[in-house]
Amino acid sequence: MPQSTIRNKKNLPAVVSGFISSPAAGGIILILASAAAIAVANSSLREGYEFLLKYKTAGLSVEHWVNDGLMAIFFLFVGLEIKRELLAGQLSTWSQRALPGFAALGGVAVPALIYAGFNSGNADTLRGWAIPAATDIAFALGVLTLLGKRVPASLKIFLSALAILDDMGAVAIIAIFYTSDISLLMLGSAAATALLMAGMNKAGVKRLLPYLLAGGLMWFFMLQSGVHATVAGILIALFIPLNTSSSSDSPLERLEHGLEPWVVFLILPIFGFANAGVSLSGLTADDLLSPIPVGVAAGLFFGKQAGVFGLSVLAISLGLAKKPANSSWLQLYGVAVLCGIGFTMSLFIGNLAFAGSQLLIDEVKVGVLAGSVLSAFAGALILMLSRRH
């Protein structure tokens, strides 16, 4: 056996460990899972893929368990991150919130307006106005990480903060605009569970198990209430105690750190595999160029960069916020373009907006993939060029 082969085998655990600890790892695995879904959906395995997603167990299909169950855990993780950043992190003061706040506002409003412009004549397709309004933090930060020292650390902090505020907006949109018939009994039961968790928090309960058991009940009540079950994840996170004086004794940070590998390396790849698979064989040229995919792609690629960069420049010019340290305008613009990567949350909202119409959901997937890929390559290219200038 060659010496080089032995050396590679010895180094394999270190290589794997280095990859797993890299901030880009989650984005890379999500890309691979999504690419696998597209390949399977356009192969002879397509029928098996669709059968698996529609297969029912415990009253829900596998697809529903992924989108309503596993994604509730994802939203719990997002909620923990939001609470920690708002109370003790990079969004804990108004000056820190100013620039990402303005950028997130523009990044939600302009893409939605562009999508609405393409779909203004059709009330059914207009329901998807929020699809291009979200940024995928795993993908976007993955691209920044791969660029290494070409990007100042301040811009990575800016993008993280922007994405967190972006997620807050997406959750509010889902809760307000994408709910079905409301069951007041189940909604009231969810509210009572929330009061129970608030009481535990007030009483100083720091063990995670009581919160998680109550959270499981809240998820069930939300699932039956008509409000999307994933909203329960955010609400549960609000009541998990955060001890800002000692991270080792903080239930919130213990839960966040415990969930992170499961979310990054299991839940999001499963979601990508279950939702990114689009069969192009059933789509005509008219379908690919219809208002939904064009509106989504244009909203992500043009709307995100215009909204994020435009309101950032406005806020900085008016003295309401400061430009990220050691960054140029071109680098800030490059990060704004990367915000057009809207994969996970965009697909999720698309499923809610057009539930029951596989054709429209497939059109959403085409638009999300097109807009996200364009934003990723264009943003990375701009940031690579910005280093030379």
What ranges do the domains of the chain cover? 28-178+227-383
Residues in Cβ contact with 258 at an 8 Å cutoff, skipping those fewer than 6 apart? none
CA dihedral in degrees (27, 29, 35, 40; nearest 10)? -150
pLDDT at 189: 94
Q: Name every residue whose Cβ is closer than 8 Å to that of residue 260 and which is 6 or more positions away in sequence.
A: 77
Q: What is the pLDDT of residues 75-131, one digit of tens each?
A: 899 889 888 888 887 777 887 889 999 999 999 999 999 999 999 989 899 999 999
pLDDT of 317: 94
| DSSP annotation string for 17-72 | HHHHHSTTHHHHHHHHHHHHHHHHHTSTTHHHHHHHHH-EETTEEHHHIIIIIIHH
Per-residue pLDDT, 5: 44
What pLDDT, on the 0 to 100 scale, is given for residue 114?
Answer: 97
Residues 152, 184: contact at Cβ < 8 Å? no
The pLDDT value recorded for residue 244 is 59
Interatomic CA distance for residues 58 and 220, integer angstroms: 13
**pLDDT at residue 166 in the model:** 84
What's the whole-model pTM score?
0.82
Instruction: Compute the distance between CA of residue 108 and CA of residue 125 in angstroms, rounded to an integer.
Output: 18
DSSP conformation letters of 280-291? GGG--HHHHTSH
Q: What is the pLDDT of residue 345?
A: 86
Beta bridge partners of 330: none
Q: 205 and 50 in contact (C-beta within 8 Å)? A: no
pLDDT, residue 374, reads 95
Place of tokens 């990220």: 324
Q: What is the pLDDT of residue 325?
A: 84
Q: How many CA atoms lie within 13 A of 328 on its CB side?
A: 13
Angle of CA points 67, 104, 133, to nearest 5°: 40
What was the pLDDT predicted at 7?
A: 46
pLDDT score, position 240:
93
For residues 31 and 139, is the Cβ–Cβ distance under 8 A?
yes
CA end-to-end span of the chain, whole Å?
48
Q: Does domain 28-178+227-383 have CATH number 1.20.1530.10?
A: yes
Q: Which of 8, 7, 176, 167 is nearest to 85 (CA)?
A: 167
Q: Are 170 and 342 in contact (CB under 8 A)?
A: no
Rounded to whole angstroms, the Cα distance separating 323 from 43 reads 48
- Contact indicator for 138, 26 with CB cutoff of 8 Å: yes
Phi, psi (degrees; rounded to nearest 5) at 57? -145, 135
User: What is the gyration radius of the CA atoms in the chain, in angstroms?
Assistant: 21
Counting as low any pLDDT under 50, the low residues of the chain are: 1-10
Residues constituting the chain = 389
pLDDT, one tens digit per residue, over 39-52 is 998 999 999 999 99
